[in-house]
Amino acid sequence: MTTFIPEPRLCDSPRHRRWSPVPVPAAEQATSAGLPGTADVVIVGAGPAALATAAALWHRGVRDVVLLDRQGTPCRRFFARVDVLRQRVLRSPYEHHPGAEGYRDCELLDFARLHWSLLTPVERREVRMAQAGHRSVVPVDVFEAYCRHVAVTHQVDTRTWRAAVRQVEPGPDAVVVRTEDTEVVAGYVVLCTGEERRPAPAGWQADEGKVSYWDEPVPGDPERMVVIGAGLTAAHLVANALTVGRRVAWVFREPAERYQCADINATFFRPEGRSRFEGSTWSDRAALMRQQRRASIMFEFRPLLRRAESSGQLPVHRGQRVTGVTSPGGGPMVQLASGDRVAGDHVLLALGTVPGRQASVLPEQLTGARDGWPDLDQQNLAYTRARRVFAVGAAAAMALGPGARNIDGHRVAANRVSAAIAAGLARA
């Protein structure tokens, strides 16, 4: 049996190309001069999940929408994190995009073909692979330009305000969204708070500046790096260090790396997979989530990492649980359960992510969390104890399935949520 390993060069793609301006729709544009005090819908967050939700609402005729985001620009934080990792392609294929589902709209593959002259030969081949129904990778540059296209053509950019949401207070007829200095009263609220990095255990202590998380810049110019984590983020950190000639030690608790094309089994991207998940008991769904949220790496990284390990440039500590990170004098030291220690000049933590701060903005008694997951209606993703509040993104995983945290899952969730909101507004 022949095993096909995609070429590492698929991970490379130009960044920050000049894309043609997005045409502004003829419809009247909203103004961002001041945050309105009322809205039909408030979306908390402005990442890909929020973009998909706003686009879906726009197609259903719901235009009185306000997006509140810490950065104040659609998808800005998403791409800032991508660029910290120097990531050039997405794991999600061309079929996965934050556009609206079920409407005549420009999809991601259409967008790439419309900008054919800007694509490299490798990128064009990936487009042809996508057209033929095969697995393909999407350049970050193409995806960012497409997100900008969706934001402008669905009037999302003019409905986004920079604000940190402090509290969401649902009532029988409306929801009050409180920010640092004002509030917005909405008919419905959609929480699209994304995912946050998983914090290190409290006992992991080292000198300040010697340990950082994957989404933080590394201070100085350390020669010896230690990367903790087994996922795609860790693979990027390791590859970046190897590319500039650093010596890297890689530590993870799994017995082996897990290489796969998608972050979850492709079954859960399809209706039959979601149906199987939704028809399961809570305990069965929890078991599936534990299995599917395991860290994995794109196949494209395998040749580079295997080559570096065989040459001695990349010592790999497999199946090693980290018990602490300290600074006994000098550089940081990673302590393993086996009793071994791994030394370096800087430690990078890639410990995965957890659903965003939904519980902190919605009263705990309304979240109804079980095993850390909010209690949501499986059909429309509304909080069962706060029917005017919905979740799109990773927090909806126990209702929608593992695909909820994927860009394709955002689109599916946004379709359900927008249908419920549009119906509710029509009855009002």
Do 221 and 88 lie in one domain? The reply is no
Domain extent, residue 404, equals 8-24+37-197+354-427
Q: What is the pTM of this model?
A: 0.93
Do 193 and 217 lie in one domain? The reply is no
Burial (CB count <10 Å: 0-12, 13-18, 19+), residue 272 = exposed
Do 399 and 339 lie in one domain? The reply is no
| Tens of each residue's pLDDT in the chain, 428 residues | 455 556 777 788 999 999 988 776 554 444 445 899 999 999 999 999 999 999 999 999 999 999 999 999 999 999 999 999 999 999 989 999 998 878 888 999 999 999 999 999 999 999 999 999 888 899 999 999 999 999 999 999 999 999 999 999 999 999 999 999 999 999 999 999 988 899 998 878 767 788 999 999 888 889 999 999 999 999 999 999 999 999 999 999 999 999 988 888 888 888 888 888 888 899 999 888 888 878 999 999 999 999 999 999 999 999 999 999 988 777 899 999 999 999 999 999 999 988 876 557 999 899 988 888 999 999 999 999 999 999 999 999 999 999 998 999 999 999 999 999 999 999 98
Which tokens hold the place of 359?
Answer: 């519980």
Q: CA 403, CA 172: separation in Å to the nearest integer?
A: 31
Do 338 and 422 lie in one domain? The reply is no
Confirm whether 267 is domain-assigned: no
pLDDT in tens, 133-153: 888 899 999 999 999 999 999
Cβ-proximal residues to 209 (8 Å cutoff; 6+ apart), any chain: 219, 220
CA distances (Å), 397 to each of 17, 277, 351, 381, in order? 35, 10, 19, 10
Which tokens hold the place of 330?
Answer: 């000098």
Do 316 and 379 lie in one domain? The reply is no
User: In this structure, are residues 109 and 93 in contact, taking their beta carbons and an 8 Å threshold?
Assistant: no
User: In this structure, are residues 94 and 127 in contact, taking their beta carbons and an 8 Å threshold?
Assistant: yes
Q: Which of 317, 351, 385 is the last residue of a domain?
A: 351
Q: Which of 332, 351, 370 is the last residue of a domain?
A: 351
pLDDT in tens, 405-417: 899 999 999 999 9
Do 192 and 225 lie in one domain? The reply is no
Residue 73 C-beta-side C-alpha neighbours within 13 Å: 9
CATH code: domain of residue 335? 3.50.50.60
Do 346 and 358 lie in one domain? The reply is no
Do 111 and 221 lie in one domain? The reply is no
Q: Which of 315, 333, 351 is the last residue of a domain?
A: 351
Confirm whether 266 is domain-assigned: no
Q: How many domains does the chain have?
A: 2
Local structure of residue 67 (DSSP, 8 states): E
